[in-house]
Every structure is written in structure tokens, then in C-alpha cells.
Structure 1
């Protein structure tokens, strides 16, 4: 008896290579199990079950992966697997917790922790740590270099240079900015996608131009440019600025 395959399953033919099952199984005129299979060129062909086999699905995890889950204390690391439980046939892995303890969660009980993409020149980042420059902590700027060697000889490598439009700093640790649509000035959080009304009733739009947030008075959709006033100037001269909700 040939193996049974499901619609949507990727299979391989002993002669014609791989394809995806689109219909079946059904009995052919020869009384054999048959399937309609879409090949890589988009053409559908009838393949007999006795000539095809399943393409193994690669494991969802690998030894060395960082994972989280209800049975994992913090962020664990897979150290062995996969294994098949003799009790229910489920797949499980051996995970080492940060404290050295081990657990054996099922594959559907853990989630892989994806490593963030490396920081590159041009990325917008927030400075997390910079030697002896505490006023830069939390400041946002653009990465202009990722290959610096500042303080490397002291075991405290500062490989990043971050520029905020007016000044630069060597940074040891940075994080990619995910909230570029907001900006904080003098303790006020501004939504850069919104409009604001000043104390005279005039409406302003905000936009980050390079590394500077600028504002432009407008009623017709015009957006700030590099020649527009900075948000700091507008807020200090005509503020407070009130969020326009309509």
C-alpha cells in the first residue's frame, strides 16, 4: 500500500522531481492511487502514489537556537533534539535554562527567539551606553560607522559612531529605533504623523528631516522641508502646541 499524501503537501517523484499535491488521492483507471501534482513550471500532472514520496519537513528548531516558552525559565537554549515521545508521538527538545536546569518541552510549546539584524550604517538608533557621555544615553541619531575601535584596548569596544544632526558620539551599545513616528521635546511626546495647533490657532505639521524634527505651518497638506523651522523653535516661540484630533 502506497503512502497517502494531502493536498498542499510537497512531494517528490522518482523521475520528475518535486511538486505540490493539488488533488487526491483518487483511483486511476488502472486501480492505483493517483494525485494531481503541480510541478515547478506550473503544469499539473497525474502522478501515481507508488512513484512519489514526501519531502521531509525540516525541523522547526536546531541545537543552539534560543527559545522561550511556558516551560522555559527566561530565554533558554536548545541543547539536544528533536526526539519523539513514546507516550504520544509528539516531538520534543531538550532546553537548558539560563540557570543550567534542563527541561523537555514539546515543539509546539516553545518559540524561537530571532536574532535582530545587525546594526548598519544609516540605521536610526538610540544610544544605550557610551563611555563617560551620560547626556547621550537615550538620544536618537543615525549610525555613521560600525567599525570603530575606541576603547578596544581596554576591553570596552565602542564600535559605533552616532550622529544626531549636530554632534557625534562613540557608542558601545545601541538599539534600533522602532518609534520614529514619535519625538520627545522638553518632556512632551509629539506624534509626527499628526497636526498641532499653536496658541494663535495656526496649524502645524511635523516631520523628521534627516536627524532634525521640523515644523511647517500649513492648512493644505504641505509638509516640512529642510528649510522649515525646527520643532524646538516653533514650540518655544508659539507653544504650547496642542494635538489636532479632527
Structure 2
């Protein structure tokens, strides 16, 4: 059975790298020495008949899909519009060097996309832009157009009028919320924040998603242990909804 097919990349013991163009053509006894292919020499474009026993396969390696485009462009600039496969592949080393240099260049950070309906923001100042909002409020964008957007927050002194915020105030009056949030009884909570309960103890979410007291009202850190002043064994593994129900209301620290 023939070892190679048209299109295979092979290495000839004398001619170097080649590509199978035609074949196989087997003699009466289909042995490797009697099986012949017509192959093209990569570097020169020369075609000739070669025996199977003089060829070894070149393993296929993943290549950058941009490589072919760059190499063809270089070959076309040098040789004109009608270029051979050999002329294109001869430019592979140069194409590889160009792509490596481009990949090594520092890529600028992507500009954040504009706010869209459904995004969340956190208020950074009470009464920002004349709206009835307070520091720590997490609001959902309900309308956005170019550099202005609206949430459900009303104007400070006008009942029922939805007020407008501006993109230019990002970082001073509001910030985009990219962290996980949870809505409980219509209130949006930032799950990466810490919250103080009605007794002054501070709660924080742990890696398993459950909430623990991390700091007592006294300011002492809460730990798991035998010290009655710091032990929080009875204040661990609560859901946020349970924290609110049993120890609320809670406020963001």
C-alpha cells in the first residue's frame, strides 16, 4: 500500500523538502523501491520522479493562519502576481519573523465598552447629579444613549421622574459594577463587598459562597477558635438572605 498521497510534504534523501504532486505509480511488484511519485522541490519548484524508499514524511505542525497571507504578499511584491508554491514557501522564514515581531509588540488595553441596558453601576456620592441616590447604591441601567444613561433612580426633589447620569462622571460619581451581585427583595447587593449588620458586626462572603462574620462590632477580627472574644463559629455559613433576615438590615462598609 502506498505510503504517501498528493499534497503530502516529504523529505528526499538528496533533494531535501518536496511536495507530492502526482502518484503513486507502482511497478509490477509494489515495493517501496518500485513505487514512484512526481514531487516538486520546495526551494526551486523543480519536479521529478522519486522513489518511495528515498522519502520520509515531514510531520505536520500547527502554523499561524496569517503565515500564508504574509508570505504570499512578500512573494508577490518580489516576483509579481503569478507566484509558485515554491516562491511562497521560500518566504515563510521572513513571514515568521514579521509575525513574531508583531506578536511581541505591547498590545494596548481595550477601551471599556459604553454602558448598555442591563449593566450595573455603583454610586460614589450621595445625591449624585441631583438624583435620589446614596453612596454604595447599586443601580441597573434602564436606558443608554451615547454619553448619557438612566437607571430607576428618581430626581432628588421630583417624584416619579427618572434622572439622568453622564459617562464623564465615571470614577467620581459612579463606577461600573463588574463583580457578582444578588438582588434580594428588590435590593441589589455587591457580593464582593462587606456589610455591617444591625449589631455592628461585619460580614463577608467566603470562597464557598457562604457568609461569615469577619469583624466584630468592637473592631476585633473574627476567627474560628476558642477565644470567646473572637470566635465566630456561630456566625458562619449563612446565605446572604439569611444574614439579612436574622441580623439585618445591613449596610455596605
TM-score class, shorter-chain normalisation, is: 0.3 to 0.5
Bigger Rg, structure 1 or 2: 2
Tell me the TM-score normalised to structure 1 length: 0.35
Greater fraction strand: 1
